[in-house]
Amino acid sequence: MSQDLLERKWSNFFRHFDADGNGFIEHDDFVLRGAQVAAAFGYATETPAAQAVTSGFQRVWESLAGNLDTDGDGRVSREEFTGGMTVFADGDRYQDLFQPAIDALLAMGDADGDGQLSQAEWVRLQMGYGTSESDAEYTFGLLDADGSGYLTRDEISAATRQYFTSTDPEAPGNGLYGPLA
C-alpha cells in the first residue's frame, strides 16, 4: 500500500509536468510549465520573477534528468520517473531538488509581498500547473495546517516533503496537486 501511494503521487506529478502530453518529461516541459505559472500571475517570460521560476524549474529538470534518465535519451519516461523517485524519497534529497523552485514560486505568487500565499494566490499558482480551480481550493484547505487562511513557506515545504516521501495515506501533502486519482 505505501509504495502504491508513492507511485500514485509520483505519477500525478509526472502528469502535471508532462506539459505537452507526449508521455515523457523533458527540459521543454519544465520551461513551458514555468512560463504557464508565470503567465497565471501576469508575468512575461523575460521578467525577473518569471526567470527565477524558470531557473528553479530548470534546476529540478537537471537533477531529475541526471538521476532518472537511465537510457540517456534526454527525456524521462513515466517508468524511469516512478522507478527512480525512490532516490529522492530517502532522506532529504528532495529538499535540495525542490526548494529552489518552491522559493521562486512563493516569491512570484506572493502578490502582496507578505511572505505567504492567500487562497486566491495559491489557486492561481496551481492553475498554472494545470490543476483545476476546485482541486486547488481543496488542496489549500488541506495544506493550511494552522488554519490562518494563508500558506507559508514552511507549510508548502512540508506539503512537498509529504508529497514526495510520505507513505501515510492521511498526510495532507498527498493532495499537493489536487486529489489523487
- 71 versus 19: which is more confidently predicted? 71
DSSP letters, 148-162, are: SSEEEHHHHHHHHHH
The CATH number assigned to the domain holding 33 equals: 1.10.238.10
Does residue 38 sit within a domain? yes
Q: Can you say how many angstroms the Cα of residue 58 is from the centroid of all Cα atoms in its chain?
A: 13
Closest of 103, 95, 121 to residue 49, by C-alpha: 103
Residues 137, 124: Cα–Cα separation, whole Å: 10
Total domains present in the chain: 1
Which amino acid makes up residue 157? S
What is the CB neighbour count within 10 angstroms for residue 88?
A: 21
C-alpha cell at 49: 520573477
Does residue 50 sit within a domain? yes
Does residue 180 sit within a domain? no
DSSP letters, 91-145, are: TTHHHHHHHHHHHHHHHHH-TT-SSEEEHHHHHHHHHHTT--HHHHHHHHHHH-T
User: Which segment of 80-84, 105-109, 159-163, 166-170 scores lowest on mean pLDDT?
Assistant: 105-109
Does residue 181 sit within a domain? no
Does residue 98 sit within a domain? yes
Closest of 71, 76, 75, 81 to residue 11, by C-alpha: 81
Find out whether 57 and 101 touch, Cβ atoms under 8 Å. yes
pLDDT digits (tens, 9 = 90+) for 70-112: 999 999 999 999 888 877 666 666 677 777 778 878 888 887 8
User: Which segment of 42-56, 83-97, 142-156 scores lowest on mean pLDDT?
Assistant: 83-97
SS3 at position 25? strand
Does residue 174 sit within a domain? no
Domain of residue 55, residue span: 2-169
Closest of 180, 173, 133 to residue 155, by C-alpha: 173
pTM over 0.75: yes
Interior CA angle at 86 toward 155 and 172, to 5°? 25
Interior CA angle at 173 toward 13 and 96, to 5°? 65
Rounded percentage of the chain residues whose pLDDT exceeds 90:
33
If you count them, how many residues does the chain have? 181
Does residue 175 sit within a domain? no
